[in-house]
Structure 1
Amino acid sequence: MYQWAEDDFVLPPGVVRLGASQPVNGQTYVMYHGTTRQTAKSIQASGFRPSEDGMLGRGVYLSRDLEKASRYPLDCPESDRAVVRVKVNVGKVKAIDRQRHPLQKTWHDQGYDTAWVPPNCGMVPSGLEEDCVWDPDRIQILGTVKPRPLQPSGGCGAYGYK
């Protein structure tokens, strides 16, 4: 069992953490991208390359929810995963809130910079939000979050209370 927790860090000026509402056009948010440790090193060295396709089409898949990102890649042991923490100016945002939405894969062609899947809308089995950013230049890498083995309960410290 692992715990996904960030070290305490100060948000960069003008950056917002996860909220329950739709990302606001032009706002900058902290987001997360789940991947393998090896790929996280490559991303830090060379930046993001957009996926050619996916649920929302081409783009870089992120979430403002660390829990969501920490589940990826699904077929990888948790101990080999890492989450790249980034800040993103979302630009113009389009909510894609149902399967077969008319702009599900063509949102960028309509002038949007980011597609946002709201939590619990039926698009994602986990019920957690997802974002797809078209242009990787909107993304600035802040660091990496790695899983920590859970400590047995019974002591004091950062992992639990007694």
Structure 2
Amino acid sequence: MDQQKLTGTFLKKYNCKMWAEDDFEPSTNPCLKSYTEPKDGKTYIMYHGTSKMAAMQIMGCGFSQSKGGMLGRGVYVSRDLQKASKYPLDLPEHERVVLKLMVSVGRVKKIDYQGHPMQKTWHTEHGYDTAWCPPNCGMVKSGLEEDCVWDPQRITVIKAIYPKRGYSGSAQSSGYAGYY
């Protein structure tokens, strides 16, 4: 089954409708919320960029941990929609989807430089639930916030946000339309 048929089938099955994403305001600056450290035990709106096919799998079955990454295993998310809209880096924008999420962060560990002693052991050896890289700390090339959530059960998908039709280029110039 091709991508368009699969997407159409998914949208019909879940009675999805198109609408504009209120949260997305194109900018070259990091989201202001991402400058403040997530507080232990709180729930935040976050985003995860992925492919259309992966988004359908996640919405149907939930997240799975990545096998690795800058912060080790977990689910990589950000409070910055602009950051999430750039992923996956190897896909053109029209093939990407951003999932809007509710994330219960649990205990949060700030990891703010390469080689941090807890960069990959924040959960396994220290019991933290989420690792947070603040914007402009030198760990992320884009200079935008990145979070890694150990347990996928802490994440609830609110909706999928798709690039608006008729646009091309970067997320900064296009904008997104959502389905839920």
Query: So what's the TM-score if we normalise by structure 2?
Result: 0.74
List per-residue Cα deviations over 1:38-79 (Å, max 9, x = no partner): 110110000000001100000000001000000000000110
Matched, 1:8 2:22: yes
In structure 1, the partner of 2:46 is: 31
Q: Provide the alpha-carbon RMSD of the alignment.
A: 2.1
How much has 1:33 moved relative to structure 2? 0.6
Amino acid at match of 1:136: P
Amino acid at match of 1:94: K
Amino acid at match of 1:117: C
Residues 127 and 6 from structure 1, CA distance in 2 versus in 1: closer, same or farther, beyond 3 angstroms? farther
CA distance in 2 between counterparts of 1:111 and 1:74 reads 30
CA distance in 1 between counterparts of 2:34 and 2:112 reads 17
1:137 pairs, out of 153, 162, 168, with 153
In structure 2, the partner of 1:74 is: 89
8 A Cα contact 1:92 1:113, kept in partner: yes
Higher-helix-fraction structure:
2
In structure 2, the partner of 1:14 is: none
Matched residue of 2:49: which SS?
A: strand
Amino acid at match of 2:87: Y
Matches within 5 A, 1:1-162: 7-8=21-22, 18-108=33-123, 109-148=125-164, 149-150=166-167
Matched residue of 1:18: which SS?
A: helix
CA distance in 1 between counterparts of 2:97 and 2:151 reads 22
The percentage of aligned residue pairs carrying the same residue is: 57
- Matched residues, number: 142
Residues 20 and 6 from structure 1, CA distance in 2 versus in 1: closer, same or farther, beyond 3 angstroms? farther
CA distance in 2 between counterparts of 1:113 and 1:66 reads 22
Structure 1: tracts of 5 or more residues without a match: 10-16, 152-157
In structure 2, the partner of 1:155 is: none
CA distance in 2 between counterparts of 1:101 and 1:114 reads 15
Matched residue of 1:88: which SS?
A: strand
How much has 1:147 moved relative to structure 2? 1.0
Amino acid at match of 1:8: D
Runs (4+) of structure 1 exceeding 6 A deviation are none
How much has 1:8 moved relative to structure 2? 3.3
CA distance in 2 between counterparts of 1:6 and 1:140 reads 20
8 A Cα contact 2:34 2:145, kept in partner: no
Amino acid at match of 1:39: A
Residues 24 and 116 from structure 1, CA distance in 2 versus in 1: closer, same or farther, beyond 3 angstroms? same
Structure 2: tracts of 5 or more residues without a match: 1-18, 24-31, 169-174
